[in-house]
Amino acid sequence: MSWTDEKVEKLKELWSKGQTASQIAEALGDTTRNAVIGKAHRLNLEARAPSKQTNKQQGFKKNKKTQKTVSRKSRFKSILLDKNFEPEKPTSLEELTDTTCRWPIGHPDEDSFYFCGRKPVEDFSYCKLHVLYAFQPKNTKEEPITKEDEVPAFLEKKIKSAS
């Protein structure tokens, strides 16, 4: 489909009246909704008012932000500081609930296979100890070695912390 001057004028007119891109495409004939949207964008026609659904979603996000909730990442960081772990409570698959840690211990083919069974951290499937195993923080990007004789800064830090 090629955009003639007549079709462009009709697009501008229908767009200013507030018709949808689908309605305009139908009125023009031989074009698609996406073609109408693309041409309107290229013509820099005024943007449409946001839909009611968009407003509802934005309002929900604002309400969610105003509530004082602790993010999953900050809860994870607080677990790193706490080193007191309750003893394991070996649990079979049939005994698992939402209030037991689901970390598998051993291999499922072994007779001694079980699940941790401790109380899980809120919003996680695992206890404090196994959250530390399951959710490893991302490492910073390691720098490549530029000279053969030079030790990279990240290795120096690791050497210092190990001593």
Whether 64 and 97 map to the same domain: the answer is no
Of 68, 86, 105, the one marking the end of a domain is 68
pLDDT one-digit tens code per residue, 75-102: 666 665 566 678 888 888 898 998 999 9
Write out the two tokens for 28: 């023009």
Count of domains forming the chain: 2
pLDDT of 141 over the 60 cut: no
Asked whether residue 149 is domain-assigned, the answer is no
**What is the distance in angstroms between the CA of the first residue and the CA of the last residue of the chain?**
72
Question: 10 Å Cβ neighbour count for 103?
Answer: 20
Q: In whole angstroms, what is the distance from residue 96 CA to residue 121 CA?
A: 15
Q: In whole angstroms, what is the distance from residue 141 CA to residue 99 CA?
A: 37
Parent domain of 129: 72-134
pLDDT one-digit tens code per residue, 1-34: 789 999 999 999 999 888 999 999 999 888 999 9
3-state secondary structure of 105: strand
Q: In whole angstroms, what is the distance from residue 142 CA to residue 112 CA?
A: 40
**Helices 21-28 and 5-16: angle between axes, nearest 10 degrees:** 150
The pLDDT score that the predictor gives to residue 76 is 60
What is the residue type of 36? V
Whether 90 and 48 map to the same domain: the answer is no
